Copies of this chain bind each other. A is one copy, B any other.
Amino acid sequence: MPVGLSEPAVLLPIAGVRWGVAAAGIRYADRNDLALMEISQGAVTAAVYTRNSFCAAPVTLARQHGKTATTRYLLINSGNANAGTGAAGMKVALDSCAAVADAADCKIEEVLPFSTGVIGELLSAEKIQAALPHAYADLSADHWLKAARAVMTTDILAKGVSRQVEIAGKTVTITGIAKGSGMICPDMATLLAYVATDAEVAPVLLQRLLQQAVAGSFNSITVDGDTSTNDACVLVASGQAGIAFTAETDVGYAEFSVAVIGVFQWLAQAIIRDGEGASKFVTIDVQSGFNEAECRQVAYTVAHSPLVKTALFASDPNWGRILAAVGRAGIENLDVDKVSIYLGDVAIVCGGSVDVSYTEAAGQVVMDAEEITIRIDLGRGLAQGRVWTTDLSCDYVKINAEYRS
């Protein structure tokens, strides 16, 4: 079950953005599996996509469309990733965008398509075309939560959050939703996150903000190390709050960007809390490295270790597995005598071997908690890196052995 996560009680509307949903019957019966986001004229949209070489047809098409036109609609389906589907899949993605353009009287290039679900099966353009009018008719500023539910696959809970910040007497609102539970080790963004604000943000600045926000959120999480073919993250600035940013030095931009990054971090952490089979929420903090890259390398090595993950599942303070993972992380000339490792506030390793003050009872208290921080001090520099992850449970294996997603 999700760790310290519940569905959002309220998601604040963003002026200039509406969501509509429909049940297209793509894979799931009796639930919405199609979501349409409408973005008002004059809004600015930034997006980042997976770096997986086998990226899905909708990712390829969304990249193209985003480069050639202003974005007016996002069309998202769950239940089928439309990945590994070749030219036929590309035609389905294009036909789906055309259906939106028909209904909304806009250009095909103004529609970005997104898909999530099983890889390698052809998506039905007909089902999407048939359901689209219902999604279009459903458009409303208050349908963020409905959209969050419609894009779920193996997610247990819908994930969304809102933040507000006062700038120069005006209220700026930011709302975001995300889905994702397995195949989570984003390399650019995670499998489908949509964040919107009513602030006005210059295009270059918005793209920079998106990349900054993604680096410390979706690009710092892992469930299973498997980067998806369909990862995508979109940030929309509708510009209707009466406040505009064109540079990082603008008054209020610092507060605004902190709020945006906060939304991204909350969503990224929510994906970990609802990770497949998750029973723990784990923060891995690596500090005192030469550079951020090696800190992240150590953090990811620990986060991906099946032996560390099963020990976390068992609440077993088997710190030797953490030590072994740090040791195999491929850090050149690591002086283990300078490495310290902590479970929460409990020092476990100091000078390359067990800390003299360590007791199994103290380690057990930390491991019994649902939220655990593993801190690793490399003792050779000033850089740091942080990754969030979860444990590896029997349920993870069952979910992925029994369910084809």
Contacts and interface: CB of A to CB of B under 8 A. Distances in A.
Contacts of A141: none
Nearest to A227: B328
Contacts of A89: 353
Contact of A306 (B225, B324, B336): B225
Contact of A400 (B81, B311, B334): B311
A229 interface: yes
Given A304-B225, A305-B226, A306-B392, A353 B85 contact: yes
A46 interface: no
A187 interface: yes
Interface in A385-405: 392-394, 396-398, 400-402, 404
Interface in A308-325: 310-311, 313-314, 316, 318-321, 323-325
Interface string A192-232: 00000000000000000000000000000000111111000
A302 B247 CA distance: 43
State how many copies of this chain the complex holds: 2
A165 interface: no
Given A85-B353, A323-B120, A401-B314, A226 B306 contact: yes
A326 interface: yes
Given A84-B354, A305-B225, A401 B311 contact: yes
Interface in A216-270: 224-229
A313 B86 contact: no
A134 to B, nearest CB: 29
Contact of A397 (B182, B305, B393): B393
Nearest to A402: B314
